[in-house]
């Protein structure tokens, strides 16, 4: 049975896997570029997902983009759970509905709460676990087709009460990005996730994938529905959220550690995204520190 390796380097790829994991408290967040699916029959698993506690209940299929820092901070009545990781470009190539892709790429956890899917999902994950670990190309192809079908069903239910997102997302129509750009998009997002605490610019992100800045900005905004600069700021604010609820550092220290070059810029960006000041956010989330 697998469990989190605390010596693992950030963004070391998992690849395409289906494994049974033993839940353990994590002393730091994990980050990797794959899409991650979690499933277990009963009990509860709680992540610190940026600065927010998100609990996954037994019987629910949960899905998120694991480039967002995620850290197990609590669990109960749970001995094991299934974890599937799928490289992000594969999922983008599947042509999933726009709302689904936007929610995932903007750092939401999707959790399907329809009780009627419990038995079906249990059987699917058990079968996928056996098939993926056969190391058979044909078996892997079958599993990928079945996973795609399952995610399409989840995407169809996204607008109903049977799928819960940690927060709502505004979806805007946009032109499709060519499939040849998917690996570039993933690499840009990964570069930002690895370097957002530094003073990176659009030109730095574009250079990391050998693209002209204008074209890099175009395909990035078409995918993420936000600019590269705003995406960097989102990462910095979310990093600050986690530090505010997991440390006693001064706010000015958190601002600079998160990548902001001034306290005023940090306060402005934080309030725009969180609708409260950093001090108010810390005060209202202090229960996390006592868990």
Q: List domains and CATH numbers for the chain.
A: 17-165 (2.60.120.280), 179-290 (1.10.10.60)
pLDDT for 206:
97
Question: Tell me, what's the pLDDT at 101?
Answer: 85
Cα–Cα distance between 167 and 186 in angstroms, integer? 23
* Alpha carbons 162 and 113: distance in angstroms, whole number: 5
| Three-state secondary-structure class, residue 234 | helix
> Residue 254 has what pLDDT?
97
The residue ranges of DSSP E strands in 130-258, in sequence order, are 163-165
With both helix axes pointing from N to C terminus, report the angle between 137-156 and 118-132 in degrees, rounded to the nearest 10: 150
pLDDT of residue 180: 57
pLDDT tens for each residue of the chain, 291 residues long:
999 999 998 888 899 999 999 999 999 999 998 999 999 999 999 999 877 889 999 999 999 999 888 999 999 999 999 999 999 888 888 888 888 888 888 788 999 988 888 999 999 999 999 999 887 888 899 999 999 999 999 999 887 777 877 653 333 333 445 555 777 888 898 899 889 999 999 999 999 999 999 999 999 988 777 899 999 998 999 899 888 988 899 999 999 999 999 999 999 999 998 899 999 999 887 644 333
The whole-angstrom separation of Cα 19 and Cα 85 is: 9
Structure tokens of 56? 């996954």
Q: Are 258 and 266 in contact (CB under 8 A)?
A: yes
User: Chain centroid to CA 74: how far?
Assistant: 18
Residues with Cβ < 8 Å from 69, sequence gap 6 or more? Answer: 29, 30, 31, 49, 50, 238, 239, 242
């Amino acid at each position: 049975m697998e469990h989190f390796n605390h010596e693992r380097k950030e963004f070391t790829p998992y690849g395409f896997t289906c494994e049974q994991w033993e839940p353990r408290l994590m002393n730091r967040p994990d980050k990797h570029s794959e899409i991650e699916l979690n499933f277990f029959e009963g009990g509860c698993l709680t992540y610190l997902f940026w600065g927010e506690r998100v609990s996954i209940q037994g019987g629910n299929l949960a899905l998120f983009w694991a480039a967002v820092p995620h850290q197990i901070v609590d669990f109960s009545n749970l001995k094991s759970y299934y974890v599937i990781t799928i490289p992000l470009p594969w999922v983008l190539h599947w042509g999933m509905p726009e709302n689904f892709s936007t929610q995932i790429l903007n750092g939401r956890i999707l959790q399907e709460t329809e009780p009627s899917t419990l038995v079906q999902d249990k059987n699917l994950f058990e079968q996928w676990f056996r098939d993926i670990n056969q190391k058979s190309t044909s078996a892997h192809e079958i599993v990928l087709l079945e996973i795609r079908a399952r995610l399409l069903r989840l995407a169809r239910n996204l607008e109903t009460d049977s799928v819960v997102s940690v927060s709502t997302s505004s979806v805007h129509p946009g032109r499709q990005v060519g499939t040849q750009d998917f690996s570039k998009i993933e690499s840009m997002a990964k570069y930002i996730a690895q370097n957002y605490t530094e003073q990176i610019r659009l030109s730095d992100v574009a250079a990391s994938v050998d693209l002209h800045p204008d074209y890099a900005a175009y395909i990035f905004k078409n995918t993420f529905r936000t600019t590269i600069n705003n995406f960097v700021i989102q990462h910095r604010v979310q990093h600050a959220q986690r530090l505010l609820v997991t440390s006693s550092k001064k706010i000015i220290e958190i601002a600079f550690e998160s990548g902001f070059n001034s306290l005023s810029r940090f306060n402005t960006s934080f309030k725009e995204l969180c609708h409260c000041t950093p001090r108010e956010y810390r005060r209202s989330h202090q229960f996390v520190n006592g868990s």
